Amino acid sequence: MKKSPLDRFFSNSLIPNISRLSCFFLLLFVELYFFKYIYKTNIIQTTDMSLSIADTLWREHHIFLYKVPFLLLIFGTIITYLVVRHKLNKLGKLEQWNWVKGILFFGINIILFVLFLILNFYIIENKGGSYSILLFLWYLLAVLLAASLSFVFFPPKTVLNVIRRFYLEIIISFVLAWLFLNFYSYFQKLWPFFSWIVGKTVYFFLSLLYSDAVYSPASISFGYLYEGIPTVGTSSFAGAIFKECSGIEGMSLFLLFFTIIVMLEWKTINKKKLLLLYPLGVGAMFLINILRVTSLMIAGTEISPAFAAGGFHSNFGWILFAIFFVIFEFFSYRWMKN
C-alpha cells in the first residue's frame, strides 16, 4: 500500500526526521516571537515603569527571556545532532507515530502557551512581588512549552530514549552552545569600539575623495544625542555608525556559519589551519563592512540620499556578505582538507 505524504512525513527515515525537527523549530519560533511582540507592546504601553517588575525584566533580562532560550535550544540541538549523527542507528527502530497523541500534545502546548502569556501579562501589570519566583516560573513554562511542542512531532518514548542513550553528549553539546552564546553576547557588546574604527576609517577614505568630508564623535538621532557613536559622511550626505553599520553583525554571522561548517567536517580538516582562518575571515568581514559604509556614503553623495538610505542600505550589506562567505568557504574548505 502506497504511503501518503503525511505518512512519509512521520516515518523514521533521516529526511522526514529533519523535516519534523525543522517544523518544530519553526512553530517554536512563531510562538516565542508572537510572545515577544505582545510582551514588548504591552511594556511600551505600561505607565510608571520605574516601579514595575516588567520594566526590570525587560531592561535587564529581555535577551535571556525571549532570545537565548530559543538560540540555546537551536544550537544545542544542532551540536548534539552533529555529535551523535553516526550513532543514531544504535537506537534501533523508533516508535511509530500516534496521531491521537500528537493532537493531544498540541492541545497541551496551546494551553501552556496561554498560561505563558498570562504569566507575562501578570509580570507586566503588577509591581513588587517575588522577582526570583517569577523568573523561575517563566523558564519553567518555557521548558514545558518546548517539550510539549517536541512531543507533537516526535513520540515521547523516542525523545526519552534519545536523552537516555546520549545524555552525556547532550549535556556537553548544550554546555558548548551556552559557551558560544556567551562569547557571542560578549562579542556583540564590542560594537561601539568597532563603530569608532569604522567611522575613522571611512572618514579617511572619504577625505581622499571629497574636500568636504565630515566626522563627528557623536550622533543625533530623533532628538537624542549619542556620545561615542560617530557620524561620518560629506556635507551633502552623512550617517551615524550605529550597531548595524559597525560590522559586528557580519562578523558574528561569519563566526556562526563557519563554526557550523567546521563542526560538520571536524574529523576531516586540519585543525591547526583554523588558527589562521578564523581571524582572517573575521578581519575580512570587517573590511567588507568598511567598504559597504564607504560605498553607502559615496552613493548618498553622488546619486541621492534617498537611494543610499533605501534599497542600497538594506540590501548591499547582505549581498556582499553572501558573496564573500561563499568565496571564502570555497577556498578555505579545500585548503583545510589538504
Q: DSSP letter string over 3-58? A: PPHHHHHTSSSHHHHHHHHHHHHHHHHHHHHHHHHHHHHHHHH-S-GGGBHHHHHH
Q: Is 274 exposed, middle or buried (0-12, 13-18, 19+ CB in 10 A)?
A: middle
Query: What pLDDT is attached to residue 121?
Result: 75
Alpha-carbon torsion angle 97, 103, 106, 112, nearest 10: -120
Tens place of pLDDT per residue across the chain (338 aa): 444 444 444 444 444 566 777 787 788 777 777 766 666 665 544 433 333 444 444 444 443 444 556 677 777 877 887 777 777 766 666 667 677 888 899 999 999 988 888 887 777 666 555 667 777 887 788 788 888 888 888 888 888 888 888 888 889 888 888 888 778 778 878 888 999 999 999 999 999 998 889 888 877 766 667 777 888 999 888 888 888 888 888 898 888 888 878 877 777 888 888 889 999 999 999 999 999 999 999 988 888 888 887 777 777 888 888 888 889 888 888 888 76
Query: What pLDDT is attached to residue 283?
Result: 93
Query: What pLDDT is attached to residue 130?
Result: 65
Q: Where are the domains of the chain?
A: 5-172, 191-337
Query: What pLDDT is attached to residue 34?
Result: 75
Query: What pLDDT is attached to residue 52?
Result: 41
Query: What pLDDT is attached to residue 249?
Result: 83
The pTM assigned to this predicted structure is: 0.62
d(CA 308, CA 306): 6
**317-320 contacts: CB < 8 A, separation 24 or more?**
317/250, 317/289, 317/292, 320/288, 320/291, 320/292
Query: What pLDDT is attached to residue 92?
Result: 63
Side-by-side strand order, sheet with 214-221: 214-221, 224-233, 238-240
Query: What pLDDT is attached to residue 68?
Result: 59
d(CA 62, CA 68): 9
Angle at 269 between CA 264 and CA 270, to 5 degrees: 145
The whole-angstrom distance between residue 248's C-alpha and the CA centroid of its chain comes to: 13
